[in-house]
């Protein structure tokens, strides 16, 4: 089974994808490596992959189809809809607000008249890539306007999990924040790498992320300070916080080659192996 590294961060734009891509490339020199892009709202790792998808799976989600000829307007489905996605219009019909529906299927189970049948919508895609860069990739992408980010993250992780026996290492990229989807990614990993930057906002978001990390138990955590050397930053305060919580850290210099590689869509340690 692969050793799993999760790259997380409370703030957007800190360099999670940059680190995840370069980690996957570096680890591929040590063993077979899989990159898992679970930043399903904006999976930009594809920008760095020199490959077309080798397979694509459409992720579907349940939506109730109300059979009006059978519906008696009893309201049982409405009363049992936790996200309030079903509305009873008295004397007329039951209306679905699809954007609120969580796809749980409870309404279909509780309907005493079997007036609700299955229908499905496209929630997103999961793609596999076989690159010439030394590693493979699984990329989850939520369909625009769909609200089910945590569910799509879990589906991406479970899809990747089926293949982990083939790999020595797996690197999971994640969306910013401290929500339930991030917790799932952190719980999934053997090592958590939190990416931050030496700014006031970066420190504040790292403090929030650490509170979430504490709920994962005894997993190992490492902090990567990206843009180290940024003028006017709060590196001393950041280092003090990390010393207080007893977490090791590494620094990624604020260097032009990092910016250039990201703008080019190239892998830093492949294109600029002499970068700091």
Determine the Cα–Cα distance for residues 228 and 254; give it in Å rounded to an integer.
5
- Of 203, 210, 204, whose CA–CA distance to 230 is shortest? 203
Distance separating alpha carbons of residues 253 and 52, to the nearest angstrom: 32
- What would the DSSP string read from start to end of 232-263? T--HHHHHHHHHHHT-EEEEEE--HHHHHHHH
Q: Record the tokens describing residue 188, joined without a space.
A: 């999934």
The pLDDT of residue 148? 83
Which residues are CB-neighbours of 235 under 8 A, at least 6 positions away?
Answer: 198, 225, 228, 229
Model pTM score? 0.89
DSSP assignments along 152-166, one per residue: HHHHHHHHHHTTGGG
What does the pLDDT read at residue 139?
98
pLDDT by residue, tens only, the chain of 276 residues: 789 999 999 888 889 999 999 999 999 999 999 999 999 999 999 999 989 999 999 999 999 999 999 999 999 999 999 999 999 999 999 999 998 998 999 999 999 999 999 999 999 999 999 999 999 999 999 998 887 888 899 999 999 999 999 999 999 999 998 888 899 999 999 999 999 999 999 999 999 999 999 998 888 999 999 988 888 789 899 999 999 999 999 999 888 888 888 888 899 898 888 776
Task: Walk me through the domains of the chain, giving residue ranges and CATH numbers.
Answer: 3-49+131-271 (3.40.50.300), 60-122 (3.30.70.20)
pLDDT at 276: 67
The 3-8 sheet, strands edge to edge: 53-66, 116-130, 135-142, 33-37, 169-173, 3-8, 191-196, 220-228, 248-253
């Amino acid at each position: 089974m692969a050793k799993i590294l999760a790259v997380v961060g409370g703030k957007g734009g800190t360099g999670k994808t940059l680190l995840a891509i370069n980690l996957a490339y570096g680890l591929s020199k040590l063993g077979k490596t899989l990159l898992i892009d679970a930043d399903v709202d904006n999976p930009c790792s594809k920008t760095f992959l020199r490959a077309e998808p080798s397979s694509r799976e459409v992720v579907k989600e349940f939506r109730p189809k109300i059979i009006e000829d059978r519906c008696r307007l009893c309201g049982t489905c409405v009363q049992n809809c936790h996200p309030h996605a079903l509305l009873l219009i008295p004397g007329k019909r039951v209306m679905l607000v699809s954007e609120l529906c969580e796809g749980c299927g409870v309404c279909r189970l509780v309907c005493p008249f079997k007036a609700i049948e299955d229908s499905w919508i496209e929630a997103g895609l999961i793609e596999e890539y076989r690159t010439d860069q030394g590693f493979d990739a699984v990329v989850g992408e939520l369909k625009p306007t769909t609200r089910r980010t945590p569910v799509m993250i879990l589906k991406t992780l479970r899809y990747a999990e089926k293949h982990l026996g083939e790999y020595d290492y797996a690197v999971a990229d994640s969306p910013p924040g401290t929500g339930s989807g991030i917790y799932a990614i952190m719980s999934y990993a053997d090592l958590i790498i939190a990416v931050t930057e030496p700014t006031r906002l970066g420190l504040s978001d790292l403090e929030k992320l650490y509170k979430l990390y504490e709920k994962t138990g005894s997993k190992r955590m490492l902090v990567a300070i990206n843009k180290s050397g940024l003028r006017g930053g709060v590196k001393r305060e950041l280092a003090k916080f990390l010393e207080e919580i007893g977490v090791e850290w590494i620094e990624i210099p604020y260097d032009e080659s990092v910016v250039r590689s990201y703008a080019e869509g190239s892998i830093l340690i492949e294109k600029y192996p002499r970068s700091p």
